[in-house]
Amino acid sequence: MRYLHTMVRVADVDKSLDFYCNKLGLEQIRRRDDEKGRFSLIFLAAPGDKSDGERAPMVELTYNWDPEAYSGGRNFGHLAYEVEDIYAVCARLQAGGVTILRPPRDGRMAFVRSPDNISIELLQAGEALPPQEPWISMKNTGNW
């Protein structure tokens, strides 16, 4: 058995691609637009997951062309990514307008949320980084 992908439904392709690719740093692997079924499937992978030459675990963004209200993003749970420097990633996301819901006060873990209310957990690779400001003093925002 091999993990393939996790699917999340998105309401706005442009906002979602901006978040997942431009801000979070994933890369688009492939895209399928199905006119008959009226949907688009966009597969994304983390750059580090593609390095071994095998098929990477992916996030599948599913966009249904006919408007549909999605709720309960929190019921999905979350996606998790290991990062080399959690402080640098959180600073970059915050500078890009992403709210840090659970700051990396411990140098180990943070949570942010996609435009479609999908929780994204960020975990520091290896040992936790030494706690530092502004993260130590930053309060949680909302829930994750």
Q: Any idea of the CA torsion for 92, 99, 143, 80, to the nearest 10 degrees?
A: -30
Own/partner long-range contacts of 28-35 (Cβ < 8 Å, ≥24 apart): 29/56, 29/58
Pick the catalytic residue: 60, 68, 121, 127? Answer: 121
Reply yes or no on whether 60 is catalytic. Answer: no
Inter-residue contact 40 to 28 (CB < 8 Å): no
Which residues are tagged catalytic? Answer: 121
